[in-house]
Amino acid sequence: MAAETGRPLRADAQRNRDKILAAAVRIFAEDGLDAHLERIAKEAGVGSGTLYRNFPTREALIEAAYRNELGRLCDSAPELLAALPPREALRAWMGRFIDYATAKLGMADALRSLVEAGVNPYAQSHELMLAALTSLLAAGVEAGTVRADIGATDMFAALTGIALASGRPDQREQAERLLDLTLDGLRTDRP
């Protein structure tokens, strides 16, 4: 959506915006606050004018990049449930949570600069993730493949712990094993 008008963006403008946000996440994760906006524009395949039309300030770009990653994660829950059995959908979402957390950890300095400037990029993050997890867990409970005594808050705590312990890209194999272990703990047919 075009923030200033509330009208939907043209398809090409939306593609450019999406490419800018994806490039911003990668480059802020690599370079932190030293990231050059011109590099982001170049990697996205757009001109600097296009970047600044969409994101007039560095802070606006950082916040939009973070919120886009959060939105992609949370919006994927119903999509996964439509495409996969509930237990598999939950496991796929757990992997996406680690992707999100890895990007967020990489962008920590950039996000911290927003907080110091008085912007709260995390507003509603917790609620949105809990809503996504609640829907995934409820579907698993209804299908009889996930324990009913584990709530979204517990799952969020477990996933956050895994992300903090194994959230770097070079730790992905360990994170995957820990996600599998966590999912095994949710089985209803445990001995």
CA dist 23 and 37 (Å) reads: 10
Q: CA-CA distance, 94 to 89, in Å (whole number)?
A: 9
Express each pLDDT in 120-156 by its tens digit: 878 889 999 999 999 999 999 999 999 999 999 999 9
Which domains, ranges and CATH numbers included, belong to the chain? 1-56 (1.10.10), 70-184 (1.10.357.10)
Predicted TM-score (pTM) of the model is 0.84
- Residue pLDDT, tens place only, 56-101: 988 899 899 999 999 999 999 999 999 999 999 999 999 999 999 8
Q: Is residue 50 pLDDT above 70, yes or no?
A: yes
SS3 116: helix
Q: For residues 147 and 161, what is the distance between their CA atoms, to the nearest angstrom? A: 20
Percent share of the chain, pLDDT over 70: 95
